[in-house]
Structure 1
Amino acid sequence: METFFAVAFSFPTVVFSVLLCVAIIYWLISLSGMGDVDAEGDLDVAGDFSGLMVTLGLQGVPLPLVLTLLFLAGWLTSYFIDLALGALVPSGILHWLYALAVLFTSLVSGLLVTSIVVRPLRPLFRRAYLPPLQKRIIGTPCVVISSSVSETSGRAEAHLDGAHLVLQVRSHSPLSHRERAILIEHIPDANAWWVVPEAEFLSGGSAG
């Protein structure tokens, strides 16, 4: 145990030890209900940082989880390298150069391991990032499957994210069987959708 603490709290491993402790405290606070883990906090940051995370394959899961995995992987790499080699490196400038090399290696290793670990986790969080169906389905093409569509009745089928949907639809412009239309607005009270003929939608027309 003495060796464990000596390595864990010596440079360079102490850098990851501190970061990992911060991550653990964050999760404890979140689990206690004093804070919220933002499922949409995946990579909701603009600019180069977001692009870098996507390049590294770290997108698709909450950012706090990505950082926790990164800190853990970096800590394990740094700890075991320093445990095996730390005592062999003489003190002084050479030891500082060794420590910086371990720190860099652990960071790179942590990024690689994290990018691998998050891949199977993405499907678990995918639904958290999807906006409600009412928003996603706007603008989706559909095909009339009832004999006709009017302002009071009608049905159509659409495909969204691989799912086959059969929807109640309404239209100000009469539509007949197998005609194509575009879903433009949800009608909450009727659990139906306003549609417009596809040709009208593409030409820039709309229906209220």
Structure 2
Amino acid sequence: MSEFLDVVLSFPTVIFSFLLVVVIGYWVIVVTGLFDLDEADAAWLGLGGAPAGITVSLLVALAWLLSLIGGQLVSGPALTVVPVVAAAGAWVCVRAALAPLRRLVPEPRVHSRGDFVGQMCVIRTGEATSDFGQAEVTASDGSSAVVQVRTTGQDRLARGDDALIFDYDADGEFFWVMPYEKEL
């Protein structure tokens, strides 16, 4: 056991041993419920759609193992490149292992301005005319945005009026709106 600890706590493995302790601590916290797994894994690293906590854990564990093996096989000045080779090897292996997940996990949806067309909005400036106006619109995910709006013809909308977004002008970067009266 002391031989193993000597190897684990010596160069080059010690670099990844510290990181492995951090990863183990992370998973202990996740498993005990002190940390919400959904929030912790919200970030994505682009390695095939796996959550960041899982991806980083696999990278560190594999780099630690490759560093442990490389430290035993290599000696002398070549020992200094073992951590770099271990990290690169781990990156390649984890990326290849997680590649099939790209087909299973949908990419996060990127919202565009066109998503607001057909939505109701509420005028937030004193009035909205063919030259100026702002309105608040709520997206399908519940978030809201204040957008630039314009009316057609002689329509004038006052603050608090409901309007329907019916088009987007990409050149002017504003939405065309028209008055909307709720059915009784």
- TM-score by length of structure 1 reads 0.50
Q: What is the aligned-residue RMSD (CA, Å)?
A: 3.8
- Equivalent residues of 2:55, 2:94 under 8 A apart: yes
Q: Which residue of 1 aligns with 2:144?
A: none
| Aligned partner of 1:118 among 98, 109, 119 | 98
Task: Give me the whole-angstrom Cα distance separating, in 1, the residues matched to 2:67 and 2:94.
Answer: 15
- Equivalent residues of 2:48, 2:100 under 8 A apart: no
- Equivalent residues of 1:13, 1:78 under 8 A apart: yes
**Cα-to-partner distance string for 1:90-149 (whole Å, 9 max, x where unaligned):** xxxxx3x3332111111111111122223233456547x558xxx89x72889xxxxxxx
**Cα-to-partner distance string for 1:173-206 (whole Å, 9 max, x where unaligned):** xxxxxxxxxxx8689xxxxxxxx69xx4246422
Following TM superposition, by how much is the alpha carbon of 1:39 offset from its aligned partner in structure 2, in angstroms?
Answer: 5.5
Matched, 1:205 2:176: yes
| Aligned partner of 1:66 among 39, 42, 55 | 55
Task: Give me the whole-angstrom Cα distance separating, in 2, the residues matched to 1:16 and 1:186.
Answer: 44
Alignment CA distance shift 1:123-1:105 (3 Å): same
Q: Which residue of 1 aligns with 2:21?
A: 21
Structure 1 residue runs without a partner (length 5+): 44-52, 90-94, 143-168, 171-183, 188-195
- Equivalent residues of 2:59, 2:91 under 8 A apart: yes
Corresponding pairs, count: 136
Q: Which residue of 1 aligns with 2:149?
A: none
Q: How does 1:43-54 map to 2 (within 5 A)?
A: 43=44
Q: Which residue of 2 aligns with 1:139?
A: 115
Alignment CA distance shift 1:59-1:39 (3 Å): farther
Q: Which residue of 2 aligns with 1:32?
A: 32
**Cα-to-partner distance string for 1:28-58 (whole Å, 9 max, x where unaligned):** 1011011123255324xxxxxxxxx5xxx53
Following TM superposition, by how much is the alpha carbon of 1:16 offset from its aligned partner in structure 2, in angstroms?
Answer: 0.8
Structure 2 residue runs without a partner (length 5+): 121-136, 141-163, 170-174
Task: Give me the whole-angstrom Cα distance separating, in 1, the residues matched to 2:109 and 2:101.
Answer: 16
Q: How does 1:1-208 map to 2 (within 5 A)?
A: 1-37=1-37, 38=39, 41-43=42-44, 57-58=46-47, 60-85=49-74, 89=75, 95=76, 97-122=77-102, 126=106, 129=108, 139=115, 200-202=166-168, 204-207=175-178, 208=180
DSSP-derived class of the 1:41 partner: coil
Following TM superposition, by how much is the alpha carbon of 1:4 offset from its aligned partner in structure 2, in angstroms?
Answer: 3.3
DSSP-derived class of the 1:35 partner: coil
Alignment CA distance shift 1:124-1:33 (3 Å): farther
Supply the AA of the counterpart residue of 2:83: L
